[in-house]
Structure 1
Amino acid sequence: MTTEANASTTRPLYGCMGLGGTWGPEPYGAAEIEAAEAAITAALEIGITTFDHADIYRHGKSEAVFGELLARDPGLRRRITLQTKCGIRLADGERPGIYDLRGKTILRRVEESLTRLRTDVIDVLLLHRPDPLADPDDIAEALTALHAQGLVRRFGVSNMGAAQIAALQSRLRLPLVANQLEMSLHRRDWVEASVLLNTSAGAANGFPFGTLEYCRDHGVQLQAWGALAQGRFTGLQESPQERATADLVAALAAGKQVTPETVLLWWLQRHPARIAPVIGTADPGRIRACRQAVDQPPGLDHEEWYALWLTARGTPLP
C-alpha cells in the first residue's frame, strides 16, 4: 500500500496549536495575527512547508489567524501543505467535551475549517481521536464524499492504534497517509512497547504494540506531536533524571555543533519508523533552533541514541 503520495518522511511539520491567542472566548486581534506571522515566517525560513492545525485549537482561532495570513499572501497557499483535524468537541459550560466522528459532523467541521482557513481545499484531514460510537462505514462514506467533492485531498488519523487504522482502512479505497501520536524523549511508551513484550512492565505500558510496525509497513507517516517534550530537556527540568537527560542533550549538541532542540528531534527521526516531528512552539527563536533537523539527516549514532533513551529512562533495559 506504500505509494508516492504517502511515502514516509522525517521532515518536521509546524504545529499551529499555539497561534491565535487564548483558549477562551476572547477574539483575536492584530497582536495575535502578528505573532502568528512571526512563527509561520520562522518555520518557512528553516524549510518547513507543512502546517498542522485542528478545528479545536484556540477554539478555531488558530485556523482563523492562519487564514488571515493566507488572505494577505495568496501565493503562500501554493507553497505549503495544509493539514487539519476534526473529531473532538470541546467542553462548553456544563456540557462536557466528547469525541464525535459521525459522518455528518465530519462534513460540517470540514466546511467550517475551510471557511476559517480561507482555502478551497485541505491537503490532509486527520481524525483527531477515536470515537467509540463511530461507525467506520459512516466515516468512510463521509471521507469519500469529501474527496469526491475536491474538498480534501488525503486523509489520516491521530492518536490511533494499528487495529483502529486497519478497521477504517478496510472500508476506504483511499489510503490513510498519517497517524499523529505523542512521541518524544519524554513520552516514550511507543518505543518502550518494543522491548517490554513478555515482561511484567509491558502489561502496564498501554501503547498498542504493533502500531509503529503497521504504519511503517503500510506507508502511514508517523507524526510526533509534543516532539520537543514541552521544554523538559531544554530549560524546564523538573527532576534529577530530567536534568541528567538535559545535560546529555546539551553535551551532544555542543559536540555536534547543533542546538539541543535538534538533538531531541534527531532522536525521533533516527528511529527506523521514520518519524516526522511536529514542532509546536510559537517562539520564532525556538522554531529557528530546529533548522538542522529540517535540512540535515539525523546525526546520532547507535550508541548515542541509546544513551539518550537510557538516561531519560533512568533504569536499565529488561
Structure 2
Amino acid sequence: MRTIKLGSSSLEVPVVAVGCMRINSLSNKEAEQFVHSAMEVGANFFDHADIYGNGACEEIFAEAVQMNPQIRENMILQSKCGIRKGMFDFSKEHILNSVDGILQRLKTEYLDVLLLHRPDALVEPEEVAEAFDLLEREGKVRHFGVSNQNPNQIELLKKYVKQPLVANQLQLSITNTTMISSGINVNMENDAAVNRDGSILDYCRLHDITIQPWSPFQYGFFEGVFLGSDKFPELNAKIDEIAAKYDVSNTTIAIAWLLRHPAQMQPVTGTTNIERLKDCVKAGDVHLTRQEWYEIYRAAGNILP
C-alpha cells in the first residue's frame, strides 16, 4: 500500500489505518483472520483506544496475532487515552497508568503512537509534558499526537510539550465536511461558512500534523452509513458512477475522496469485514480528478458560493 510520513516524523505509515474499535465483535479465529489479512495487503497500522471494549479490543487483538517480538516488528500500533467514565482526564497519573494498561493488554513493550483522545477541560499541559517525557525516556511511546483538538488546544500543549505532535484524529467524511466547507465559504452568509474548529485543517497542514479522519463512512454523529442510504440518493448515484469508471467499489471511492485532498490524510477504517477492508486499501491506488472530487462534494449537499 502507498505510504506517507506521519506528521513531521520519519515514521512511514500506510495511507489507510485499521481501526480496531469493533474487533471484540469477532471470535478469536475471526479476529486472527482479519488482522493477518490486513497485514497481507499492507494495512499494518492498527488504531486502538483504551476505552474500546473497556480494553477488551486490545486484548483480543494481541491474542489474535499471538503477539511476539517478530510479529511486533511488522506492525505499527497506535492507541489513545484520556476518556474515563463521565469525564476526560489528561493528568500525568492517568496518562501513565493508561499507557501501562495498554502495553499490558497489547503484550508489547512500546506504542508507535499515543494520542490524547478528547480534550480535557481541566488539562494542565505541564503534566502532559511530564508524562510524555517519561514515556519517551522509558521507551514506552515513540510518537505522540492528539484527537479531536482545535488549533489553540494544540498550541497550549505545544507550549510545554517538546515532542512533535504528529497526528490529530478528527471526524471527517463526505457528509461531515465542516472543516473543508468553512474554508470554501469564507465570508459568506450561510451555515457552511461557520468556522467550528478554528481552521483545524489549514492549521494541521501548516504544522505538518497528519489528520486521521475517523468514521469516514458515517453521517452525523454515528447516525448511520451514507453508502447505500436512501437519505443520500444523489451522492450514492455519483459515487456509483465514478466507482464504475475506476472499476472499484463505492467503499473505495469514499476513501479515495479523502485521500485526494492534498493534506495527506490517513483515514481510519472501522470495518471488521475483510473484503470491505480490502476495498478501503484499494483507495490508495485511485486518484480522483479535481472535477470528480467536487462532483462528489456537491452531490452530498455541500454548496459552493
Q: Which residue of 32, 35, 38 corresponds with 1:37?
A: 32
Partner of 2:182: 193
Does residue 64 of structure 1 match 2:59? yes
TM-score (norm 2): 0.90
Does residue 141 of structure 1 match 2:141? no
Distance 1:137 1:6, change over 3 A: farther
Q: Give the superposition deviation at 1:243.
A: 1.7
8 Å contact 1:15–1:279 — kept in the other structure?
yes
Structure 1: how far apart are the matches of 2:168 and 2:136? 19
Does residue 302 of structure 1 match 2:290? yes
After superposing the two structures, state which structure 1 stretch, 54-63 or 9-18, moved more.
9-18
Which structure carries more relative contact order (alpha carbon 8 Å, separation 6+)?
A: 1
8 Å contact 1:13–1:50 — kept in the other structure?
yes
Does residue 80 of structure 1 match 2:75? yes
Structure 2: how far apart are the matches of 1:151 and 1:195? 41
Does residue 255 of structure 1 match 2:245? yes
TM-score (norm 1): 0.87
Partner of 1:169: 158
Structure 1: how far apart are the matches of 2:259 and 2:178? 16
Q: Give the superposition deviation at 1:210.
A: 2.3
Does residue 156 of structure 1 match 2:156? no
Partner of 2:22: 18
Structure 2: how far apart are the matches of 1:211 and 1:106? 24
Stretches of structure 2 that go unaligned for 5 or more consecutive residues are 1-6
Stretches of structure 1 that go unaligned for 5 or more consecutive residues are 22-30, 91-96
Structure 1: how far apart are the matches of 2:173 and 2:297? 10
8 Å contact 1:71–1:118 — kept in the other structure?
no
The list of structure 1 runs, each at least 4 consecutive aligned residues, that deviate by more than 2 angstroms after superposition, is 2-7, 69-75, 199-207, 228-235
Distance 1:36 1:10, change over 3 A: closer
Distance 1:252 1:287, change over 3 A: same
Distance 1:308 1:204, change over 3 A: closer
Distance 1:4 1:111, change over 3 A: closer
Q: Which residue of 224, 227, 231 corresponds with 2:216?
A: 227
Partner of 2:41: 46
Partner of 1:5: 10
Query: RMSD in angstroms over aligned alpha carbons?
Result: 2.0
Structure 1: how far apart are the matches of 2:252 and 2:166? 25
Structure 1: how far apart are the matches of 2:257 and 2:190? 23
Structure 2: how far apart are the matches of 1:188 and 1:123? 29
Q: Name the count of aligned residue pairs.
A: 295
Q: Which amino acid aligns with 2:176?
A: R
Partner of 1:268: 258
The superposition leaves residues 41-100 of structure 1 with CA deviations (integer Å, 9 ceiling, x where unpaired) of 23212211110000000111110101113435552211011000000013xxxxxx2111
Q: Give the superposition deviation at 1:245.
A: 0.6
The superposition leaves residues 95-129 of structure 1 with CA deviations (integer Å, 9 ceiling, x where unpaired) of xx211111100000000101100001011000000
The superposition leaves residues 234-277 of structure 1 with CA deviations (integer Å, 9 ceiling, x where unpaired) of 33x041xx121111111100111122111111110111111111
